[in-house]
Amino acid sequence: MYKHLIRPILFKLDPEKAHELVSFAIRTTSILPFKEKIFSFCGNFVKEKEFMGLKFKNPLGLASGFDKNAELYNVMQYLGFGFIEIGTVTFMPQPGNERPRLFRFPENMAIVNRMGFNNKGAKKVAENIASNGKPSIPLGINIGKNTDCPLENAAENYADCFRILRQYGDFFIINISCPNIKDLRKLHDINYLEKIISRLKNQDSLKPMLIKIAPDIENSDLVNVVKICLKYQMGLIASNTLPAEKAGYSQKGGLSGRPLNMLAMERLKEIREISKEIPIISSGGIFSEDDLNERLKYGANLAEIYTSIIYEGPLVVKKILKSHRNLSFQGSVKS
Ligand SMILES: Cc1cc2nc3c(=O)[nH]c(=O)nc-3n(C[C@H](O)[C@H](O)[C@H](O)COP(=O)(O)O)c2cc1C
């Protein structure tokens, strides 16, 4: 029904307008009683496993960017996800880049976005989580740097954001890899990165944290980032969107979807060559059950999706998790 009825209507709209319409529908659903029952056809995948000290009922999550302001997760959790990420959230609210800033490439099952961390800021997001309540599955909060904050002050900016949100997330993602924030990707440099991580760990050494890296990260940077993760007992999300111009796209921004599949697999294998223990969430180009199972086979502990929801609809979660009703997954790494 999604592909034949709903998608053609949504794809006639400007992509960001379509997302706003879907978000409105989700928010409306959230006030319905028995919403859990309404979504029960999406499936319930319970085979609890531990990862970074948290319990996950299955290995597939909603990636960051879909619910930037913690307004949708309460309904999205019923689609069958094992975890949900919100954000990227910055310390201060910011409008993001000028529109249009979201583009579909259906022939490649791809999206290019240059949203630029549009979000309502840490304080408002904390209020939203406080009033919506925690979901029944682990909630990850993805934090980033305000666009106008110079790299030299990044550690303080991340720390300010974390301080406000710390009590609301089960785990945190430190986003240093969005291609749409000027110079953000330079934070892969070990000197910047260690300052940020030590500031965050000083505030809370127990909260599970993962660094979200770029899919085109240099191998020398990857080795350093893994070192930091092992030193501070953190994990990695591999990986974020790719600067679209690197893949020959006409629009500037971050490329996601099918074209990322191979890159994300390569990063996963590379990380596992460096470290067998480091916790990994694999992100990029997952559309099918086979895609997910391949990630798990090559050592990802968990995986996450965004673009396949746009192309395949909400039931893609159930489709991808088909073989996970009774299967266990590799997720025993603790930090
Ligand atoms: C429209 C859009 C917005 C995104 N916003 C964020 C974001 O705010 N923070 C982030 O870390 N990743 C963001 N992402 C990246 C996704 O979380 C994910 O890592 C990436 O899209 C690769 O997965 P996919 O191929 O399944 O979409 C965004 C992706 C899209 C398509």
Q: Is the pLDDT of residue 323 over 90?
A: no
Given this model, what pLDDT does residue 95 score?
98
Query: Average per-residue pLDDT in the chain?
Result: 94
How many Å lie between the centroid of ligand 1 and the Cα of residue 239? Answer: 9
Asked if residue 34 belongs to a domain, the reply is yes
Alpha helices in the chain (DSSP H): 7-10, 15-29, 35-38, 73-76, 122-132, 154-165, 190-203, 219-232, 261-274, 289-297, 307-312, 316-320
Asked if residue 289 belongs to a domain, the reply is yes
Lowest-pLDDT range of 49-53, 84-88, 223-227: 49-53
Nearest to 181, CA basis, from 97, 120, 237, 247: 97
Nearest CA to ligand 1 atom 11: 64
- How many domains does one find in the chain? 1
Task: Count CB-CB contacts under 10 A for residue 131.
Answer: 8
How many Å lie between the centroid of ligand 1 and the Cα of residue 2? Answer: 21
DSSP 244-309: GGGGT-SS-SEEEEGGGHHHHHHHHHHHHHH-SSS-EEEES---SHHHHHHHHHTT-SEEEESHHH
How many Å lie between the centroid of ligand 1 and the Cα of residue 184? Answer: 15
- pLDDT tier at 333 (50, 70, 90 boundaries)? very low
Helical (H) or strand (E) element with 21:
helix 15-29
Mutate to test the pocket of ligand 1, among 217, 256, 304 (most ligand atoms within 8 A of CB): 256
Mutate to test the pocket of ligand 1, among 10, 64, 286 (most ligand atoms within 8 A of CB): 64
Given this model, what pLDDT does residue 332 score?
42
Given this model, what pLDDT does residue 327 score?
54
Q: pLDDT tens digits, residue range 263-307?
A: 999 999 999 999 999 999 999 999 999 999 999 999 999 999 999
- The token pair at 259 is 């074209």
**Helix %, strand %, coil % for the chain, to 5?**
45, 20, 40
Residues with CB under 6 A from ligand 1: 63-65, 68, 87-88, 102, 111, 113, 115, 142, 175, 178, 212, 240-241, 256-257, 260, 283-286, 305-308
Asked if residue 164 belongs to a domain, the reply is yes
Asked if residue 226 belongs to a domain, the reply is yes
Asked if residue 335 belongs to a domain, the reply is no
Measured from the Cα of 257, ligand 1's closest atom is: 25
At 10, phi and psi to the nearest 5? -60, -40
Mean pLDDT of 162-181: 98
Q: For residues 293 and 324, give the distance between their C-alpha atoms in angstroms, rounded to a whole number.
A: 9
Q: What share of the chain has pLDDT > 90, as a percent?
A: 89
Nearest CA to ligand 1 atom 12: 64
For tokens 């406080």, name the residue: 130
For tokens 């609301």, name the residue: 168
Kindly report the pTM of this predicted structure: 0.96
Range of the domain at 237: 2-324
Q: pLDDT tens digits, residue range 179-207?
A: 999 999 999 999 999 999 999 999 999 99
- pLDDT tier at 328 (50, 70, 90 boundaries)? low
- The token pair at 178 is 């969005």
Given this model, what pLDDT does residue 34 score?
78
Asked if residue 330 belongs to a domain, the reply is no
Q: For residues 50 and 306, give the distance between their C-alpha atoms in angstroms, rounded to a whole number.
A: 23
How many Å lie between the centroid of ligand 1 and the Cα of residue 34? Answer: 30
Given this model, what pLDDT does residue 47 score?
73
In sequence order, what are the residues at sequence separation of 6 or more whose Cβ sits closer than 8 angstroms to the Cβ of residue 248? none
Given this model, what pLDDT does residue 33 score?
82
Task: Count CB-CB contacts under 10 A for residue 210.
Answer: 26
Given this model, what pLDDT does residue 42 score?
74
Q: For residues 20 and 89, give the distance between their C-alpha atoms in angstroms, rounded to a whole number.
A: 18
Measured from the Cα of 117, ligand 1's closest atom is: 8
Q: Is the pLDDT of residue 330 over 70?
A: no
Do 87 and 120 contact (CB within 8 A), yes or no? no
Partners of 139 in beta bridges: 84
Q: Contacts by 1-6 with C-beta closer than 8 Å and gap 24+?
A: 1/313, 2/312, 2/313, 2/314, 2/315, 3/312, 3/313, 6/313
Burial of 317 (0-12, 13-18, 19+ CB in 10 A): buried
CATH number at residue 312: 3.20.20.70
Asked if residue 334 belongs to a domain, the reply is no
Q: Is the pLDDT of residue 167 over 80?
A: yes
Asked if residue 293 belongs to a domain, the reply is yes
Q: Positive or negative CA dihedral for 35, 37, 38, 44?
A: positive
